[in-house]
Amino acid sequence: MTGAHTSLEAASFSTATALQTLGLWRQGVVAALAWALLGALTLLWPNKPIGFSDWAYTTEFAVLSLAIAVALALIALRGWLPRLHAAGAWLIAAPLLLGLWQLLTAKLGVLPPPFFAPPQSLLEVYLDDTARLGTSIAHSLRLLVHGIVLGSIVGFFTGVWVGWSRIAGYWVHPLLRFLGPVPASALLPLAFFFAPSSYSAAVFLIALATFFPVAVLTWSGVANVSKSYYDVARTLGASEWFLVLHVAIPAALPQVFVGLFMGLGASFSVLITAEMMGVKAGLGWYLQWAQGWAAYSNMYGALLVMAVLCSGLITLLFTVRDRLLSWQKGTVKW
């Protein structure tokens, strides 16, 4: 019995070794099968009728799923794109979730239209409403960049000033603590009154949402720099400006980036409110338009675009942080 068990273990070990030698990516094979099943489910199971029409782009969605399955099978068998292997579990979970979504909406009708739509409805939005959605994305990106850059710059300099100067800490810090928790959207009437245009009012709200976390965490970073750093620099003859620029700010940069991450998230939460103020395009405007016409699939498509956009900007900010603070690895927590 023991010998049979040992031989079985040896056979399984040799099989695993052979698979590794061939470069076979097992999770990729499972993912390819899952995407193939999603395509077959979408194509072969008839949709539940919705009035006198059917869900558009059902065949195209099935073909896309099968194409992804073929691509993953080739990658798994050939050992291509090794960086993709880390996402193997997600590549398996995605078709399973999409298949469940497909069953509950198009196939069984458990989730009724128009409030719920199947995955192919997103494909319809991205293919048939490309111009309007693309214009909205461009307008929102311009608005976000203007607001985030303005709020980050003002917040950074304010935080350094409050963290370094005792006078600023005495007068400005209480104002930050008092006004910071106020939601930026609550200042909508003031933005309307003082801003010369609806666009500048929207930029002001996004900048305000970014300003507070950047200012507070920059102040915290500067204020908590070890005093020994300053003592060593002063011993070597450093001036006050040298201490600020070459000691306080570099040591506080990890906290500054935390504030930037928080400000980026806050700016996206304010974007919808900011684009309610008379702008003619933008993802917030697009969401309002979709809700007004009960085009819920368009609304879900815009929300997915916002999620991808926010994730992409956060990834970009992580890349900048890793490059800028590479010299601090091992001294700060990452």
What is 290-311 written as a DSSP string? HHHTT-HHHHHHHHHHHHHHHH
Q: Is the confidence at residue 15, as pLDDT, over 50? A: no
User: Among residues 34, 15, 280, which one has the least CA distance to residue 143?
Assistant: 280
Q: How confident is the model at residue 16 (pLDDT cuts 50, 70, 90)?
A: very low
Of 98-107, 157-166, 170-179, 246-255, the least confident: 170-179
Asked whether the whole model's pTM tops 0.85, one would answer no
Q: Is the confidence at residue 160, as pLDDT, over 50? A: yes
| Mean pLDDT computed over 48-57 | 79
Q: Is the confidence at residue 8, as pLDDT, over 80? A: no
Percent of the chain with pLDDT over 70: 89
Residue-wise pLDDT for 264-295, tens only, equals 988 888 888 788 766 778 888 898 888 888 88
| Mean pLDDT computed over 294-309 | 91
Q: Is the confidence at residue 90, as pLDDT, over 60? A: yes
Taking the C-alpha atoms of 222, 322, 141 and 275 in order, what is their torsion angle to the nearest 10 degrees?
Answer: -40
Q: Is the confidence at residue 263, as pLDDT, over 80? A: yes
> CA–CA separation, 259 vs 156, rounded Å?
9
pLDDT, greater one: 1 or 255: 255
Q: Is the Cβ–Cβ distance between 218 and 163 less than 8 Å?
A: yes
Domain locations in the chain as residue ranges: 14-113, 130-327
Owner of token pair 């819920």 = 296
Of 32-46, 72-86, 144-158, 269-283, the least confident: 269-283
Q: How confident is the model at residue 21 (pLDDT cuts 50, 70, 90)?
A: very low
Is 130-327 a CATH 1.10.3720.10 domain?
Answer: yes
pLDDT at residue 225, rounded to an integer: 86
Q: Which residues pair with 226 in a beta bridge?
A: none
> CA–CA separation, 46 vs 36, rounded Å?
17
In 3-state terms, what secondary structure has residue 266? helix
| Mean pLDDT computed over 254-261 | 92
Task: State the chain's mean pLDDT as an integer.
Answer: 85
Q: How confident is the model at residue 11 (pLDDT cuts 50, 70, 90)?
A: very low
Q: Which residues pair with 329 in a beta bridge?
A: 332
Task: For 50, list phi and psi in degrees, rounded to 5.
Answer: -120, 95
Q: Is the Cβ–Cβ distance between 291 and 299 less than 8 Å?
A: yes
User: Among residues 184, 204, 185, which one has the least CA distance to residue 194?
Assistant: 204
Task: For 235, list phi and psi in degrees, rounded to 5.
Answer: -60, -35
Residue-wise pLDDT for 167-219, tens only, equals 888 888 788 877 777 777 777 777 777 777 878 888 888 998 899 999 999 99
In this structure, what token pair is assigned to residue 268? Answer: 């996206």
pLDDT at residue 23, rounded to an integer: 65
Q: Is the confidence at residue 22, as pLDDT, over 70? A: no
In 3-state terms, what secondary structure has residue 324? helix
Cα atoms in the Cβ-side hemisphere of radius 13 Å centred on 116: 12
